Homo-oligomer: A and B are copies of this chain.
Amino acid sequence: MRFDEAYSGNVFIGSHPNFEESEAVIYGMPMDWTVSYRPGSRFGPARIREVSIGLEEYSPYLDRELKDVRYFDAGDIPLPFGNAARSLELIEQFVRRVLDAGKFPLGLGGEHLVSWPVIKAVYDYYPDVAVIHMDAHTDLREHYEGEPLSHATPIRKVADLIGPTNVFSFGIRSGMKEEFEWAKENGMYIAKFEVLEPLRSVLPKLAGRPVYVTIDIDVLDPAHAPGTGTVDAGGITSKELLAAIHEIARSDVRVVGADLVEVAPIYDHSEQTANTASKLVREMLLGWVAK
Q: Footprint of B on A, CB under 8 Å?
A: 1-4, 6-11, 15, 17-20, 27, 32-40, 42-43, 46, 49-50, 54, 56-58, 60-61, 63, 65, 73-78, 80-84, 94, 97, 144-147, 149-151, 172-177, 180, 192-193, 221-224, 226-227, 230-235, 237-239, 242, 266-272, 275-276, 279-280
How far is A291 from B15 in the complex, measured between Cα atoms in Å?
39
Is B58 a contact of A145 with CB atoms below 8 Å? no
- Shortest CB–CB separation between residue A3 and chain B, in angstroms? 5
* Chain B residues within 8 Å of A224, by CB: 221-223, 233
Chain B residue, CB-CB nearest to A278: B233
What are 22 contact pairs spanning A and B, CB under 8 A?
A: A3-B19, A6-B7, A7-B8, A7-B9, A8-B8, A34-B81, A34-B82, A35-B81, A39-B39, A57-B176, A58-B175, A58-B177, A60-B172, A78-B145, A81-B147, A83-B147, A222-B270, A226-B270, A231-B270, A233-B280, A234-B242, A266-B266
How far is A94 from B2 in the complex, measured between Cα atoms in Å?
9
Chain B residue, CB-CB nearest to A91: B1
Chain B residue, CB-CB nearest to A31: B82
Q: A2-B75, A222-B275, A266-B40 are in contact. Are A230 and B82 (CB under 8 A)?
A: no
* Chain B residues within 8 Å of A233, by CB: 224, 238-239, 242, 272, 275-276, 279-280
